[in-house]
Amino acid sequence: MDHHDPGYGTTARVLHWVIAVAVLAMIPAGLIMVRDGLDRGLQDVLFIFHKNLGSILILVVALRVAWRITHPAPPLPGDLPAWQRRAARGSHVALYVLMVVLPLSGYVRVRAGGFPIEGLDALGLPALVGRSKPLAEAASTLHALAAFTLIAVLALHLGAALHHALIRRDGVWGRMWPPRAPGPRT
């Protein structure tokens, strides 16, 4: 890697890892809470966790997208094959789209179904979507489809990150992993 390129800035890294930790908790919570015969108490806890953390993510993801639009990614190493550049770009765009679609479809699914989101309700925020069974069903289908697409793209993302960290050792891992490499940074 070019030693004058210390990678992503602090804000981009903090947003990446806050969202990564949250999403990696949201996926198993979602998968477990929809299972038949699950203990009701555990199911309630998982639903409350999933709906409320997911609602916060709408805001955090919006911040991240705004930050990304105004702060371009650092250039990839010059010797990276063209297909890997395209794969990186395509998978990153897909991850951003899924990060937006998942919490929004979850919100619509819950509100169109007439269900509470405890944190938002406590703040007095009204439901922005009216009750509608067909809308709730469509949002539910989209949410599950997006979730399984996310799991697939994340598998590629993690594979690529490890490939850079362990095999290529080209500094791409260090562009996102904290702490930041020393060097000048705007």
User: Which residues would be at the binding site for ligand HEM (CB under 6 A)?
Assistant: 16, 19-20, 23-24, 26-27, 30-31, 34, 50-51, 54-55, 57, 68, 73, 88, 92, 95-96, 99, 102-103, 106-107, 109-110, 117, 140, 143-144, 147, 150, 154, 157-158, 161, 172-173, 175-176
- Residue (31 or 41) nearer to ligand HEM, CB: 31
Q: Which is nearer to ligand HEM, 95 or 184 (CB)?
A: 95
Rounded Cα gap, residues 185 and 7, in angstroms: 9
In whole angstroms, how close is the CB of 140 to ligand HEM at the nearest point?
3
**Least spacing, CB of residue 175 vs ligand HEM, in Å:** 4
The minimum distance between CB 11 and ligand HEM, in angstroms, equals 11
CB of 45 to ligand HEM, least distance (A): 14
Dist CA 11 CA 139 (whole Å): 32
Between 21 and 184, whose beta carbon lies closer to ligand HEM? 21
CB 104 to ligand HEM: min, Å: 8
CB-nearer residue toward ligand HEM: 27 or 135: 27
Helices 82-112, 133-162: inter-axial angle, 10-degree rounding: 150
Residue 64 token pair: 């991240």
